[in-house]
């Protein structure tokens, strides 16, 4: 186990180095960072000087070297646009994103798993057909349309829910949370639903597809023959055996929830990392982009490590090796 973890740790470091290298190769195509840092009247010479001072004229490999050197000391530079250390900015924004992704993931699982199991057990019923169709509408509408429709209906017409932001936030010193105030929860509802809809569709359909197969496999037939209770068969045997692909996808989805809830966060002006990131792309805020991509690489490495470990604890067939 120790060897396994050590190996994965080394691999993680390589992944992050590669991500940083690609990131720096990419930044030259994103636009001119200086144009956003100065006023329209600023002279060409002053712009050029600023570029020089920021080291943006150095070859990519040199910029990459500086970045890695500083990053290894835990130093990620300062945001060009917000003029604040990137570390602080990410620490400020991370709680908002994590709370949103956790709630929407829970929502998606709580609704998606039962729906998936039901549609697999009763594939021909009209309710199942309804579930399947409905779930598709959720993904074929673009996220920003869903978000804006929710805002229009619950925010503007009914005026039940706040339309933007995170509500009242309680600062615990190391973490800011919206879970401790009423307006915090209210603000969370619409973005969480918007994010959950997409995840849900995927979960419902994957579980249904996998369960349909497993239910007809030999060992379920054996279980039936042994006279096991039908519910126990569906949940403890069948569902458990469908979980490997489902967990793989859920892992990836949670990763992208944390990383790229960009559209949802901008529609609801949710002060999380997705919003920070999309604005960094638009304004060519290279320090934020590079630190952020590195963080995302870390998130995916960790999630995929957890998923790989989970495989072995869930699927008895894999344990045999």
Partner 1 sequence: MSIKSLLTTNVSILALTIATTVALTMPVQAKTFKYAFQGDAQSLDPHSLNETFTLGLLGNVYEPLIDYDKDMKKIPGLATKWEATSPTTWAFELRKGVKFHNGNPFTADDVIFTWKRMLSEGSDQKARAALIKDIKKVDDFHIIVETPVPNPTVLNEMTQMYVMDKEWAEKHNAVKSSSPKDAGRDGSYATTHENGTGPFIVESRQPDVKTVLVRYKDHWNKDIATNIDRVEFTPIKQAATRVAALLSGQIDLVFPVPVQDWNRLTKAPSVKALNGPEARTIFLGMDQSRDELLHSSVKGKNPFKDVRVRKAFAHAINLDAIKKAIMRGASTPSGLMWAPQIQGYNAASNTPYKYDPETSKKLLKEAGYPDGFTVTMDCPNNRYVNDEKICQAVASMLAKVGVKIDLLAQPKSKYFAKVLAQGGYDTSFYLLGWTPASMDVYNVFNSLIVCQNKEKKAGSFNLGNYCNKKVDELTKIIASETDVAKRQAAIDEAAKIIQDEVGYLPLHQQPLSWGVRDGVKVAQRADNVLDYRDVVMP
Partner 2 sequence: MGDFWRRFFDSDLWWSFKSSPLVVIAFSITVIIVFSSIFATFVAPYNPFDLAQFDLMDSLKPPAWMEGGTSQFFLGTDDQGRDVLSTILYGSRVSLLVGFMSVFFAMVIGIIVGLIAGYSGGWVDALLMRIADVQLSFPAILIALLVDGIVRGLLPKGSHDDLAVYVLIVAIALSFWVQYARTVRSSTMIERTKEYVQAAQVIGLPQPLILFRHILPNVMGPVLVIATIQLALAVITEATLSFLGVGVPPTSPSLGTLIRVGNDYLFSGEWWITVFPGAALVILVLAVNILGDWLRDALNPKLR
What character string, x for contact with partner 1 (CB under 8 A) and - otherwise, covers 254-293? ------------xxxx-x---xx--x--xxx---------
Question: CA dist 207 to 9, 240, 241, 242, 255, Å?
Answer: 32, 10, 10, 7, 19
Residue 225 and residue 243 in contact, taking contact as beta carbons nearer than 8 Å: no
- Nearest Cα to Cα of residue 15 among 313, 255, 247, 288: 255
Return the residues of window 56-95 that contact partner 1 according to CB under 8 A. 78-85, 88-89, 92
Does position 164 bind partner 1 by CB under 8 A?
yes
3-state class (DSSP) for residue 171:
strand
Question: Which of these segments, 60-68, 76-84, 224-232, 313-321, binds partner 2 (CB under 8 A)?
Answer: 313-321
Q: Is the dihedral of CA 216, 219, 220, 223 positive or negative?
A: positive
Separation CA 104–CA 98 (nearest Å): 10
Which of 2, 3, 43, 59 is the binder for partner 1 (CB under 8 A)? 43
What character string, x for contact with partner 2 (CB under 8 A) and - otherwise, covers 282-301? -----------x--xx--xx
Separation CA 309–CA 298 (nearest Å): 17
Does position 25 bind partner 1 by CB under 8 A?
no
Does position 317 bind partner 2 by CB under 8 A?
yes
Beta carbon of residue 92, minimum distance to partner 1 (angstroms, whole number): 7
- Listed in sequence order, the residues at least 6 apart from 216 whose beta carbon sits closer than 8 Å to its beta carbon are none
Does position 54 bind partner 1 by CB under 8 A?
yes
Q: Residue 75: CA atoms inside 13 Å, Cβ hemisphere, count?
A: 6
Does position 144 bind partner 2 by CB under 8 A?
yes
- Contact residues toward partner 1 (CB under 8 A) are 30-48, 50-51, 53-54, 78-85, 88-89, 92, 148, 151-152, 155-156, 159, 162-165, 266-269, 271, 275-276, 279, 282-284
């Amino acid at each position: 186990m120790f060897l396994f973890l050590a190996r994965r740790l080394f691999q993680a470091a390589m992944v992050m180095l590669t991500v940083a290298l690609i990131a720096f190769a990419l930044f030259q195509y994103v636009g001119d960072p200086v144009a956003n840092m100065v006023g329209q009247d600023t002279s060409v010479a002053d712009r050029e000087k600023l570029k020089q001072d920021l080291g943006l004229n150095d070859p990519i490999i040199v910029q990459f070297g500086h970045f890695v050197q500083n990053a290894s000391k835990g130093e990620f530079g300062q945001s060009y646009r917000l003029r604040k250390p990137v570390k602080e900015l990410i620490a400020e924004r991370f709680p908002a994103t994590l709370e949103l992704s956790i709630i929407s993931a829970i929502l998606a699982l709580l609704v998606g798993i039962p729906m998936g199991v039901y549609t697999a057990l009763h594939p021909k019923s009209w309710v199942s057909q309804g579930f399947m169709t409905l779930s598709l509408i959720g993904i074929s509408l673009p996220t920003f349309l869903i978000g804006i429709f929710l805002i229009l209906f619950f925010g503007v017409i009914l005026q039940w829910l706040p339309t933007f932001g995170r509500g009242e936030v309680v600062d615990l010193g190391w973490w800011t949370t919206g879970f401790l105030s009423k307006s915090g929860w209210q603000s969370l509802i619409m973005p969480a639903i918007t994010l959950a809809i997409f995840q849900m569709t995927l979960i419902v359909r994957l579980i249904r597809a996998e369960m349909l197969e497993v239910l007809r496999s030999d060992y379920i037939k054996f279980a039936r023959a042994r006279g096991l209770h039908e519910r126990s068969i569906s949940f403890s045997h069948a569902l458990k055996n469908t979980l490997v692909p489902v967990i793989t996808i859920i892992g990836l989805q949670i990763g992208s929830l944390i990383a790229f809830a960009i559209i949802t966060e901008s529609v609801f002006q949710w002060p999380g990392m997705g919003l920070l990131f999309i604005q960094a792309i638009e304004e060519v805020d290279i320090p934020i982009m590079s630190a952020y991509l590195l963080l995302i690489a870390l998130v995916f490495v960790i999630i995929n490590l957890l998923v790989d470990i989970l495989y072995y604890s869930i699927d008895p067939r894999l344990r045999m090796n």
